[in-house]
Amino acid sequence: MAILGRGRLIPLSLQPVPFLLLALFVCLFEPEAARAQSGGAREYQIKAAFLFNFVQFVKWPGAAFTSSDAPFNIGILGDDPFGSALDDTIQGEVINGHRLTITRSQSAGELEGCQMVFVCRSAESDTGAILAQLGSRPVLTVGDTKNFARDGGDIDFYLLDGKIRFEINAQAARRQGLNISSQLLALGKIVSP
Amino acid sequence: MNQRSRFKLRTGRKAAGGWMCLGFCLLATGGLHAQQISQGETAGATPSNTPPATPALTPATTNSDEGTAAFKNMSLEELMNQSVTSVSKAPEPLADAPAAIEVITNDQIIRSGATSLPEALRLADNLQVAQGDSHDWNITARGFNTGLADKLLVLIDGRTVYTPLYSGVEWDEQNPMLADIDRIEVISGPGGTLWGANAVNGVINIISKSAEDTQGWYMEGMAGSQPRDEGALRYGGTLAPNVYFRVYGQYFDRNNEVFADNGAPAHDDWSEGRGGFRIDTAGSSDDKFTVQGDYYNGAAGDPTLPGTDPDSGGNILGRWSHTFSPDSNTSLQVYYDRTNLTQQEPGIGLERAGVLGDDLDTVDMSFQHNLQVGDWNHFVWGLGYRFTHDVASNAPAAQLLPATLDQNLFNVFVQDEIKLTDDLSFTLGSKLEHNDYTGFEAEPSGRLQWNFVPKQMLWAAVSRAVRTPSRLDENLYEPTGFPKPIASLLDGSTSFQSEVLIAYELGYRAQLADKVSASISTYYNDYSKIRSTTPGPERDIDLPIVFQNNLEGQTYGVEMSSDYQMLDWWRWHAGYDYIQEHIHVAPGETDYTHGLNETADPSNQVFLRSSMDLIQNIQFDAEGRYIDEFTINNGPTAATVPDYFELNLRLAWHATKNLVLSVAGQNLLHDYHVEYGYPNATQEAIQRSVYGKITWQF
């Protein structure tokens, strides 16, 4: 049933407004020192943890390793943005009998023996050539910008609302004999070329 | 009296037979649905893109090695919740918050088969949820779950949604599109320091997805026995580079439930249409803006009266977050909300039946600043102001006097997390509020967090929280048409005071192995000045009954929750909630229901869920719950609502990456079962239901 008396305007006696503005104003005078620098480091600490998770949520074919206790080698292709974060993250870790190690290089050819290759932004202009080199091997390729997976890579990172998200090209991974767990598939965005 | 009422204001009569029992009925009123005026929790409600609960609760880690180690120990889900430019510069895993927190994710909501927000809230082990009829739910944490449950604060994207009418939530007005909810944070225990009055027994933060996260088309359709049918459509796109938007519309038509004593259909089916939008800026800028709004219009049948009760509402909210440096950020939020409720009210005595309406306008502003000072201190402080303009259109036998009421609420709060050692931190803070009923109220708290071994944490807290008076407590008037001293049945009182809680909490949380996590929270709550229904000055007649603050007492309990990833494709969850209540009449005082009117809480609740990812992109989920019996006293004498087991199942097939087909059944074990209500002819039961659903996005 209809209610009478609608549509009144709200008497806005907003005394606190000056106070709020003042508070905001005070904040504006804070020194801008130290801005921004931590953003990048933190981002790659988190991405290092993602890579460490990928090692555990993807199953590699036996042929990816020369022996059952051969190291699991993570390649970093291009200009390494991690600093020590990735080294700190995987230090001393052994997954399914494989000790985790890191190889840094500017050439995809030198990383053919890796099980996972992180393609840094500096190297992404060569995505085509990199994938030609690694795309038929059991090497999980992880890119640092959106569309890397659409372009034929396996996984890429992107930022959404200041948080890290990832895309997965499940078809490409399957072709390489990599078995990505459903848990990872459920959390990533599935893309196809 | 009818405890289910749309806005639960229903006062009395009606219960069986003559009117000498009126008094009882009153009480009955579903535990006198009463509540209060909006307070200011908003200051603590941080923007939806940062978890409201955690910034203030978590200590800041500053060392980068610690950061790396902390991230490494997080689950993928936790990693995905880390902001790459967090203010505190530190990882803020939920597992580190020294409070009883549970988080419900979008995925859990969808997989549960929930078709409404209250159903989704059953996923939180630390809540009590009882459905009274097709469109009324009582929801609380840590007890006091009557039809007038009034000790829980609920926020949707930073906007308070409890009504100052009785300090409760009209759950049938809160129907955000479930597909667009990012997560729901449920905190049991007091949150007054950050959120203000009414965050007495808990806080629920419902956080919707950013517009950037909902790009493209989304469509869903449901049909079955409950809901009868439902459809939703959403489109998301860009307005400019890094400026995203979405618009949505939704309609549902929900079936009636049945009367408990004979299974006959009740006249309480309901429907609602709603639409809205959200705009978010993204990108690397230090400034982030969000603007969002919704409008809805619905109507619900009254189980025992012939007509329907329409209601409608809308809101618009803007938020500006600014980052000055990794150590300092601010957010400023402003919103306007309008809510129009109607409720048919039966007559009393000589007074006829009629309709009670309530139109509420709210303007709310809040400002918050997060500030890291040195390595050891993380400050959060803020200010808030709220203005409410409430207009009641009174029914003959149920009135709010004065009919029009303007109120102002101010608050300021500050909290500091002090890192004592690498493993030990202490959080101290208080909110100070000023409301028009009781003046200044302080809500201090202290919290201690000890990470005694990696991945295991002990925490303890002492807090004070208040429930400030509601319009019902102060302004209710139920005339009978007779002369004094029986001129009215139940009256509010302008001398009503704030209810006060001192809470003591102790908790433990652990990631016990890669695949097992567990949490245990315990509490001892000491309440004073709880609402009583006290016979009036004419003691030989008992009328009118007046709201006073003559109850006090203690509650204590345990909340447990555990997850187990048994196999890659099979996950288990178990939860248990235990509560004991000793609420009694204060020495020398009186209460019409001997202290039993404010509580209606099962001592034991047990939850068990299984989630399976089967072959061929098939998901199968099962969810069982056991809810203990409880005493209810909103009738002539105390009665019992029986215990029950129920089971929900859902089977979904992700046919393609764009298309999901599912079928779900809820409350499958019984034709119908009772969750709430005084056992008389108006008590309702909830039916078994099944529906099919199709979801398409591209």
Contact A41 B65 (CB under 8 A): no
Of residues B203, B159, B206, B155, the one with CA closest to residue B503: B203
Predicted confidence (pLDDT) at residue A40 exceeds the cutoff of 70: no
Q: Which residues of chain A neighbour B355 with C-beta distances below 8 Å?
A: 1
Give residue B24's pLDDT band: very low, low, confident or very high (50, 70, 90).
very low
At residue B38, the pLDDT reads 27
Give residue B94's pLDDT band: very low, low, confident or very high (50, 70, 90).
low
Predicted confidence (pLDDT) at residue B668 exceeds the cutoff of 50: yes
- Biggest CA–CA distance in chain A, Å, is 81
Give residue B50's pLDDT band: very low, low, confident or very high (50, 70, 90).
very low
If you average pLDDT over residues B347-372, what whole number do you get?
A: 91
Please state the pTM of the whole predicted model: 0.77
Q: Which residues of chain B neighbour A39 with C-beta distances below 8 Å?
A: 84-85, 326
Predicted confidence (pLDDT) at residue B406 exceeds the cutoff of 80: yes
Of residues B647, B638, B652, the one with CA closest to residue B673: B647
Give residue B39's pLDDT band: very low, low, confident or very high (50, 70, 90).
very low
If you average pLDDT over residues A165-170, what whole number do you get?
A: 91
If you average pLDDT over residues B664-682, what whole number do you get?
A: 95
CA pair distance A132, A109, nearest whole angstrom: 10
At residue B40, the pLDDT reads 30
Distance to chain B for A180, nearest Cα, Å:
11
If you average pLDDT over residues A75-85, what whole number do you get?
A: 90
Q: Does A4 touch chain B (CB under 8 A)?
A: yes
At residue B51, the pLDDT reads 34
Predicted confidence (pLDDT) at residue B495 exceeds the cutoff of 70: yes
At residue B96, the pLDDT reads 66
Give residue B93's pLDDT band: very low, low, confident or very high (50, 70, 90).
low
Higher pLDDT, B140 or A25: B140
Of residues A62, A64, A55, the one with CA closest to residue A137: A64
Q: pLDDT tens-digit profile of B257-270?
A: 999 999 999 989 99
Residue B556 makes CB contacts below 8 A (sequence gap 6+) with B522, B523, B524, B525, B579, B580
Give residue B79's pLDDT band: very low, low, confident or very high (50, 70, 90).
confident
Contact A184 B310 (CB under 8 A): no
At residue B84, the pLDDT reads 63
Q: Which residues of chain A neighbour B407 with C-beta distances below 8 Å?
A: none
Residue A125 makes CB contacts below 8 A (sequence gap 6+) with none
At residue A14, the pLDDT reads 26
B646 neighbors B669 (Cβ within 8 angstroms): yes
Q: pLDDT tens-digit profile of B292-328?
A: 999 999 999 987 788 889 999 999 999 999 988 878 8
If you average pLDDT over residues B490-502, what whole number do you get?
A: 94
Contact A89 B71 (CB under 8 A): yes
Q: pLDDT tens-digit profile of A107-122?
A: 998 999 899 999 998 8
Sign of the alpha-carbon dihedral angle for B580, B586, B588, B589: negative
CA pair distance A33, A48, nearest whole angstrom: 27
B462 burial type by CB count under 10 A (0-12 exposed, 13-18 middle, 19+ buried): middle
Predicted confidence (pLDDT) at residue B103 exceeds the cutoff of 50: yes
Contact B76 A30 (CB under 8 A): no
Predicted confidence (pLDDT) at residue B52 exceeds the cutoff of 50: no
CA pair distance A106, B460, nearest whole angstrom: 52
Predicted confidence (pLDDT) at residue B393 exceeds the cutoff of 70: yes
Q: Which residues of chain A neighbour B369 with C-beta distances below 8 Å?
A: 23, 27
Give residue B213's pLDDT band: very low, low, confident or very high (50, 70, 90).
confident
Question: B50, B76, B659: which to substitute to probe chain A, counting the most A Cβ within 10 Å?
Answer: B76
A76 neighbors A103 (Cβ within 8 angstroms): yes
Q: pLDDT tens-digit profile of B187-206?
A: 999 988 888 888 999 999 99
Q: Give the residue from chain A lying closest to B244, CA to CA.
A: A161
CA pair distance B11, B477, nearest whole angstrom: 10
If you average pLDDT over residues B574-596, what whole number do you get?
A: 91
At residue A7, the pLDDT reads 22
Contact A23 B393 (CB under 8 A): no
SS3 A55: helix
Contact B67 A8 (CB under 8 A): no
Predicted confidence (pLDDT) at residue A44 exceeds the cutoff of 80: yes
Q: Indicate the helix (H) or strand (E) that contains B659.
A: strand B659-666
If you average pLDDT over residues B68-80, what whole number do you get?
A: 82
CA pair distance B312, B227, nearest whole angstrom: 20
Q: How many residues does chain B have?
A: 698
At residue B46, the pLDDT reads 35
Rounded percentage of chain A residues whose pLDDT exceeds 70 = 79
CA pair distance B577, B128, nearest whole angstrom: 9
Q: Indicate the helix (H) or strand (E) that contains A94.
A: strand A94-95
Q: Which residues of chain A neighbour B69 with C-beta distances below 8 Å?
A: 88
Predicted confidence (pLDDT) at residue B239 exceeds the cutoff of 90: yes
Count the Cβ atoms, other than its own, within 10 Å of residue B295.
15
Question: A29, A43, A45, A144: which to substitute to probe chain B, counting the most B Cβ within 10 Å?
Answer: A45
Higher pLDDT, B202 or A62: B202
Distance to chain A for B575, nearest Cα, Å:
22
Locate tokens 């009636």: which residue? Answer: B256
Q: Which two tokens stand for residue B494?
A: 């302008």
Tally DSSP H helices, then E strands, for chain B: 8, 39
Portion 27-86 of A in contact with B at CB < 8 A: 27-28, 30-39, 41-43, 45-46, 48-50, 52-53, 57, 85
Predicted confidence (pLDDT) at residue A30 exceeds the cutoff of 80: no
Rounded percentage of chain B residues whose pLDDT exceeds 70 = 87
Predicted confidence (pLDDT) at residue B155 exceeds the cutoff of 90: yes
Higher pLDDT, B650 or B162: B650
Give residue B538's pLDDT band: very low, low, confident or very high (50, 70, 90).
low
What residue type is B570 in one-letter code?
W
Q: pLDDT tens-digit profile of B505-532?
A: 999 998 887 788 899 999 999 999 999 9
Q: Give the residue from chain A lying closest to B393, CA to CA.
A: A3
Locate tokens 């893109």: which residue? Answer: B49
At residue B32, the pLDDT reads 29
Q: What value does the mean pLDDT of chain B take?
A: 85
CA pair distance B210, B245, nearest whole angstrom: 9
B513 burial type by CB count under 10 A (0-12 exposed, 13-18 middle, 19+ buried): exposed
